[in-house]
Amino acid sequence: MTALTAEIPAPRRIASVMRIHVANPWPTAILPWLVLFGVHGITWSIWALITHYAGDSLEPDAFRYAGGVSWLVIYMMVIAIQAMNAGFRFAMGFSATRRDYYAGTVAFFAAMAVVYALGLGVLAMVERATDGWGLDGSFYAPAYLYDEPYAVIAFHYLALYLLFTAMGALIGALFVRWRAAGLYLYFAGLALAVVAFVWWALDAGDSLVAFFRDNPIEVVMAWTLPLSAALAALGWLVIRRAPTRA
């Protein structure tokens, strides 16, 4: 038996897996922006109505707090879960290894996080340049992002996306490996983690508040990176022994 080499080199195998997720770019790369702009349009209309009727009595930071962007992270987590489930079985059916599949999929999530972070950052800058879309509104850089520079806003979204897609990757991996039982495991683990966190937070009390108060947003967000990496690593441990089922 002659020694074999893979007929497709590893970097191309991983790139091929990334392609799986954008073969139809609609749900991952097009639809989110359309919905985002739709929500933005509606929010702007409401701002305009309020401004019209409130007149001079409007508080200066009335439109500082909008949640119009936050749904995107949840949407991306759902995309991540779907990508892990259907994408995994499809890729296995197309002779991918689990290793290549997971590497390509996580690379795809990271690439999407970069694209969305840069894009939302640019939109936040446009928002600032247009004096909050002419109405002093904060849609892309609400609340604590209001005064931050581009790099901080983009990094904040990047870290947030990585965290949620890593969570999605883990949930998807648990589902692929153990089906419903995997999801029970996840939510039981999550509940325990929340209880443990609250316990610890009550104990830590002031020092926790001080952490959020005294540290700039980029430092707080940087602390999510090791957590995201840990979740992604956990996802690999789960999926590396996952069989493909019908």
Summarize as ranges the residues that interact with other proteins (CB under 8 A): 1, 4-8, 10, 12-13, 15-16, 19-21, 23-24, 26-27, 82-83, 86-87, 89-100, 240-241, 243-244, 246
Backbone angles phi, psi at 25, to 5 degrees: -75, -10
- Which tokens is 155 given? 């990094």
| 135 alpha carbon, distance to own chain's centre | 28
- Which tokens is 80 given? 């991540």
Q: Are 168 and 85 in contact (CB under 8 A)?
A: no
b/e burial code for range 167-180 (CB count within 10 A of at least 16 → b): bbbbbbbbbbbeee
Counting DSSP H helices and E strands in the chain, the numbers are 8, 0
We find the least distance from the C-beta atom of residue 3 to other proteins, in angstroms, to be 9
The residue among 92 and 208 lying less far from other proteins, judged by its C-beta, is: 92
We find the least distance from the C-beta atom of residue 92 to other proteins, in angstroms, to be 5
Q: How far is CA 140 from CA 15, 110, 129, 144, in A?
A: 31, 20, 12, 11
The residue among 104 and 132 lying less far from other proteins, judged by its C-beta, is: 104
The residue among 14 and 110 lying less far from other proteins, judged by its C-beta, is: 14
State which amino acid sits at residue 23.
A
For the chain, the maximum distance between any two Cα atoms, rounded to a whole number of angstroms, is 85
The residue among 30 and 151 lying less far from other proteins, judged by its C-beta, is: 30
We find the least distance from the C-beta atom of residue 242 to other proteins, in angstroms, to be 10
The residue among 130 and 244 lying less far from other proteins, judged by its C-beta, is: 244
We find the least distance from the C-beta atom of residue 241 to other proteins, in angstroms, to be 7
We find the least distance from the C-beta atom of residue 87 to other proteins, in angstroms, to be 6
- Which tokens is 193 given? 């983690």
Q: Are 235 and 166 in contact (CB under 8 A)?
A: yes
The residue among 139 and 175 lying less far from other proteins, judged by its C-beta, is: 175
We find the least distance from the C-beta atom of residue 82 to other proteins, in angstroms, to be 6
